Amino acid sequence: DGGITQSPKYLFRKEGQNVTLSCEQNLNHDAMYWYRQDPGQGLRLIYYSQIVNDFQKGDIAEGYSVSREKKESFPLTVTSAQKNPTAFYLCASRTGTSVYEQYFGPGTRLTVT
Amino acid sequence: AQSVTQLGSHVSVSEGALVLLRCNYSSSVPPYLFWYVQYPNQGLQLLLKYTTGATLVKGINGFEAEFKKSETSFHLTKPSAHMSDAAEYFCAVSEWETSGSRLTFGEGTQLTVNP
């Protein structure tokens, strides 16, 4: 089945550690996105990538980094510089021919203590 | 930049009653509009979308939405609520930048369905 995979579903880290969240898609989509979700704040865009080896900062990129070395993969690293990393992280993708609609993965809940 | 306002962070209805979730947007160009649904601890699922053409859009699970340009609104409705409709709903507007397209989301509306 085609879709977007995010792993793991739950992730726990100690403060001061970097952590990388995985996002893989087998939909052959060109664009990929990372969002952060906090209660009552909707989804906020962290980074996005329209093509391989290129990505742009979203609205809340500070403390995060990404890479796009392969079309199907868009990992997100939450660095120790991110002040409030505990959140639900969602990855999405979009085909180059769609009217901007995005398809979402199941999410990763990160807890940093 | 575009923005989306969802009126009411929590909406509660009885099973069988009308569901109305409100969404207003601001956009300097003709918008593409979307409604997504999210069940607890899951990703978002597309309910419906408006691009061009007919302003009344039908989606999955019996939901529909009407694009009203004069009111800059895209409210989501369902004639008869079911217990399984309890979830969080997000309205989104598309935005095109030189670096590509992105969606701007509202803050979400939590729908509760009472038996």
Q: What is the pLDDT of residues A49-96, one digit of tens each?
A: 999 999 999 999 999 999 999 999 999 999 998 999 999 999 999 987
Task: Give CA–CA dist B7/B1, Å, rounded.
Answer: 20
In chain B, which residue's Cα lies nearest the Cα of A4?
Answer: B43
The tokens describing B101, both together, are: 């397209």
Report the share of chain A in percent with pLDDT over 90.
81
- The answer to whether the CB of A77 falls within 8 A of the CB of A66 is yes
Check if A39 contacts B (Cβ < 8 Å).
no
Q: Which residue has the tokens 């940093």?
A: A112
Give yes or no for residue A19 having a pLDDT over 90.
yes
Give yes or no for residue A16 having a pLDDT over 70.
yes
- Length of chain A equals 113
The tokens describing B104, both together, are: 């701007």
Cis amide leading into A8 (omega within 30):
yes
Q: What is the pLDDT of residues B68-101, one digit of tens each?
A: 999 999 999 999 999 999 999 999 998 776 667 8
The tokens describing B24, both together, are: 């207003």
Q: Which 3 state secondary structure label does DSSP give A43?
A: strand
DSSP code, position A72 = T
Record: contact A99-B9, CB cut-off 8 A: no
Provide the pLDDT for residue B96: 75
